[in-house]
Amino acid sequence: MDDAAIDTAGADTAHCSDPLTHRLLHAAAEVFAEKGYEKAGVAEIARRAGVTTGAIYSRYGGKAELLLEAVDHHVPDSLDNVLNGVSASAGRLPATKVLSTLGDHLLDDLDGGHGLFLEAMVAARRDPELADRLRERVADEDRRLGKLVDEGTSDGLLDPDLDELAVVRLAHAIGYGMLLTRSMGLDLPDPDHWHAVIDRVLAGLALPADQPSTAHTPVADSPIGDQT
């Protein structure tokens, strides 16, 4: 991979306030980015962190867990960031507004940590333990996205006839697809144009106009495209 230099300026230091843990995950990120998952060695990670391999195995179950912890440390959780922002605002924002904001974040600048996530996705095809742990991470995000879909359905903003998992998988397909697009260095759309497309997709998930909603929908929350 080309992400040899991992930018830790945006790392979630609150996630691992322990200086030793921070040093281990930074060293792991460097080694995984330079050598790839399969060739990365725990001994080399320990050497760069200035610790013994025992210090690593006392904290992590193995290389798979170490890689995913490094991913968590270096890749900001956009979903958490948006939800935290929502909780800090006055009142509960509608689910479609949260989903729209998440879509906007797909154009944010990438740091080296996103390369780690791609490395994990590729390596998981050949490592069952890593695949299991990666699925656990995705399952947690599934639950949080599913909760948003449920809220949108209850508020009358999303069509209750749509399958929740299908909507969640669509969100993932857009998110992962944009990550690949960014990693390939392809041209990105203007943020306003991208926002308009995301909101058009969300509008397509709404209850059809000729079908009355049984949910109570606040008037201010109804227009999907105007919630900016």
Nearest to 36 by CA among 101, 120, 106, 108: 120
Asked whether residue 216 is domain-assigned, the answer is no
In this predicted model, what pLDDT tens digit does every residue of 71-81 receive, in sequence order? 877 665 555 66
How confident is the model at residue 14, as a pLDDT?
38
Q: What is the pLDDT of residue 129?
A: 85
pLDDT at 194: 97
5 inside domain: no
CB atoms within 10 A of CB 209: 6
Give the HSE-up count for residue 171: Cα atoms under 13 Å, Cβ half-sphere: 29
Query: Which residue type sits at 51?
Result: V
Q: What is the pLDDT of residues 11-32, one digit of tens each?
A: 343 345 588 888 898 899 889 8
Domain count, the chain: 2
Does 69 or 91 have the greater pLDDT score?
69
On whether the CB atoms of residues 67 and 28 are closer than 8 A, the answer is yes
Q: Give the DSSP letter of residue 14.
A: T
- 79-90: average pLDDT: 55
Residues 199 and 126 in one domain: yes
- Given 42, 59, 74, the domain boundary residue is 74
CB neighbours of residue 122 within 10 Å: 14
Q: 88 and 62, same structural domain?
A: no
- The boundaries of the domain holding residue 56 are 19-74
| Domain identity same for 61 and 84 | no
- Reply yes or no on whether the pLDDT at 65 is more than 90: no
Does 191 have pLDDT greater than 50? Answer: yes
* pLDDT tens for each residue of 102-157: 899 889 877 666 778 888 888 888 889 889 888 888 898 899 899 999 999 999 99
Question: Which band of pLDDT confidence, cut at 50, 70 and 90, is reported for residue 9?
Answer: very low
Q: Residue 222: inside a domain, yes or no?
A: no
pLDDT at 5 over 70: no
In tens, the pLDDT along 196-227 reads 999 999 999 998 876 665 544 443 444 444 44
Residue 179 reports pLDDT greater than 80: yes
Would 47 be classed as within a structural domain?
yes
Question: What is the pLDDT confidence band of residue 47, given thresholds at 50, 70 and 90?
Answer: very high
Given 46, 74, 102, which residue is the final one in a domain? 74
Alpha-carbon distance values, 25 to 49, 55, 60, 123, 162 (Å):
9, 12, 11, 18, 40
Q: How far is CA 121 from CA 2, 7, 36, 66, 124, in A?
A: 16, 20, 12, 14, 5
Same-domain check for residues 42 and 83: no
What is the pLDDT at residue 11? Answer: 39
The per-residue pLDDT for 109 is 79
pLDDT at 192: 97
Residue 117 contacts residue 29 (beta carbons within 8 Å): no
